[in-house]
Amino acid sequence: MKRDKPIFDTGSEHATSGRRLVCISLADAGSAADLSDQLGFFGFTTRIVADWRDLQAVTGSAPITVVMLDAELLQQDDEFAHAMRDFKQQSSGTVHLVYVSGTDTFELRLAAVRGGGDAFMVQPLEIARLIDKIDSLMGSAEREPYHVLIVNDNPDDVSTYAHILQSDDMITSVVSDPRNLFPVLIESKPELILMDMHMAEWSGVELTRLIRQQETFIGIPIIFVSSEKDVEKRLAAIGYGGDDFVSKPVVPRYLNALLRLRAARTRHMRFFMERDSLTGLLNHSNLREKVGAELKRAERIGNSLCFCMIDIDHFKSVNDTYGHLTGDRVLKSLSRLLQDRLRKSDVIGRYGGEEFGVVLFDTALDQAERIMNEIRESFALIRQQFQGKEFYVSFSAGVSSYPACSSVAELIETADKALYEAKERGRNRVVVDA
């Protein structure tokens, strides 16, 4: 797997083809440029638009856009207020308006709502909160598709169900021979199983019982597809681990709606079980588990792998000086930066406290050093805020690699020693174990 994701890109005028376009139309050119730079650190494509009348032309090609606007114009220019409301209505949900103001009054907030505003933010802007708001506005457009595993030995049924689900933007995997069931479950990690009740050589209930005997898969919903009408038999199937029934012939709209609801619930449960509640990254135990899984994968196919241990410099001082809520925002800003700069296939977790762990698969040691240094330099430029005061935070990192380290414990211990060396050498640096 090649590292083809751009590492660093900021500026006031980027390409507008990405999903994450932020248009900045503020009267203060200096504030607009600074905001563009700060958002650029987090991977947003930004465009400064000096005249709000040009917004429609700029945002037309972007699937979803957030527009930053001066709230004061709503009370100063009736044409602006009407134009922004119409602009928002005509966008059919692809444009979100965020009004920015140096003052905070009921009248101004009401004017922002009437002007199509989705959010109102008071200057000086706290970048961490602004990022959270933009993420929430753009989140629905960037949601990962749900993954459904179809277990069925009838090719026609498989084709029909796959077409129905894929037409609703779901991903499907297929098991037609149950002897391949567990390898596919491990590899694809579906959020739901669509199981045929009666197959030529296998029973859906039997396969469900096999799945439920494995603790790893006990939480995956299993939906039976069957023409079975006997209520007692249906209840018995549910008693063995099934969650619901879809009657044949299936109704596509019903099938999609049911599977989406069930898969969404599975995704939420997995998130809270596997993730750190503050940052949304993998928690300590799941991070270590992922390190082990990635190490086995590297061994199996003969690839390189790097593990990076990251620690925020002087974090106790941040908490003592600015309070734990501000410290939490610093942690969230680093986690958000890591998620943006690294590939989806890279593993990122919160190791504990102010420490983070990153697994870079198919990455050589010199590449890992360059990547971590670029992220480190970006993080040091992100403006942190507390009650109108600005401050900056850095981090240090240590990097270990496979095959130089052959076990999870050795990878983590070696990276931790390199991190300690980085701290001893003055912090705000990356040290690799050569």
Q: For the domain that residue 260 is a member of, what is the CATH number? A: 3.40.50.2300
Pairwise CA distance, residues 55 & 30, whole Å = 19
pLDDT for 19: 53
Q: Are residues 186 and 93 both part of a single domain?
A: no
- What 3-state class would DSSP assign to 228? coil
Q: Is residue 63 part of a domain?
A: yes
Q: Are residues 28 and 103 both part of a single domain?
A: yes
Q: Are residues 234 and 372 both part of a single domain?
A: no
- In the chain, helix, strand, coil percent, each to 5? 50, 20, 30
Pairwise CA distance, residues 129 & 151, whole Å = 44
Q: Is residue 305 part of a domain?
A: yes
Q: Is residue 4 part of a domain?
A: no
Distances (CA, A) of 274 to 93, 96, 132, 281, 282: 32, 31, 21, 8, 6
Give the total number of structural domains in the chain. 3
Q: Are residues 156 and 132 both part of a single domain?
A: no
Residue that is last in its domain, among 123, 142, 161 = 142
pLDDT for 279: 86
Q: Are residues 323 and 266 both part of a single domain?
A: no
Tens digit of pLDDT at every position of the chain (434 positions) = 333 333 333 333 333 334 578 999 999 888 899 899 888 888 788 999 988 888 888 876 667 789 999 999 998 888 898 999 888 888 877 889 999 999 999 999 999 999 999 999 998 888 878 888 888 788 644 567 899 999 999 999 999 999 999 998 899 999 999 889 998 988 888 999 999 988 888 888 999 999 999 887 888 999 999 887 778 888 888 888 888 888 888 899 999 999 988 888 888 777 777 788 788 899 999 899 889 989 988 998 899 999 999 999 999 999 999 999 899 989 999 998 998 899 988 999 999 999 999 999 999 999 999 999 999 999 999 988 888 788 999 999 999 999 999 999 999 999 999 999 999 999 999 999 86
pLDDT for 434: 66
Q: Are residues 239 and 309 both part of a single domain?
A: no
Q: Is residue 2 part of a domain?
A: no
pLDDT for 62: 67
Tell me how crowded residue 385 is: count the other CB atoms within 10 A of its CB: 17
Q: Are residues 127 and 27 both part of a single domain?
A: yes
Token look-up 């018995």 returns 236
Token representation of residue 70: 């001066």
Q: Is residue 222 part of a domain?
A: yes
- What 3-state class would DSSP assign to 270? helix
Q: Are residues 105 and 174 both part of a single domain?
A: no
Residue that is last in its domain, among 235, 254, 274 = 274
Q: Are residues 293 and 424 both part of a single domain?
A: yes
Phi, psi (5° rounding) for residue 124?
A: -70, 140
Residue that is last in its domain, among 109, 142, 175 = 142
Q: Is residue 258 part of a domain?
A: yes
Token representation of residue 187: 């590899």
Q: Is residue 119 part of a domain?
A: yes
Distances (CA, A) of 277 to 64, 126, 348: 27, 21, 14
Q: Is residue 10 part of a domain?
A: no
Q: At what angle do helices 284-301 and 408-424 cross, to 10 degrees?
A: 110
Question: Residue 136's domain spans which residues?
Answer: 21-142
Report the CATH number at residue 383.
Answer: 3.30.70.270
Q: Are residues 303 and 374 both part of a single domain?
A: yes
pLDDT for 230: 79
Q: Are residues 298 and 227 both part of a single domain?
A: no
Token representation of residue 406: 């052959």
| pTM as predicted | 0.62
Q: Are residues 76 and 111 both part of a single domain?
A: yes
Token representation of residue 357: 């762990």
Judging by beta carbons within 10 Å of its beta carbon (0-12, 13-18, 19+), is residue 417 exposed, middle or buried? middle
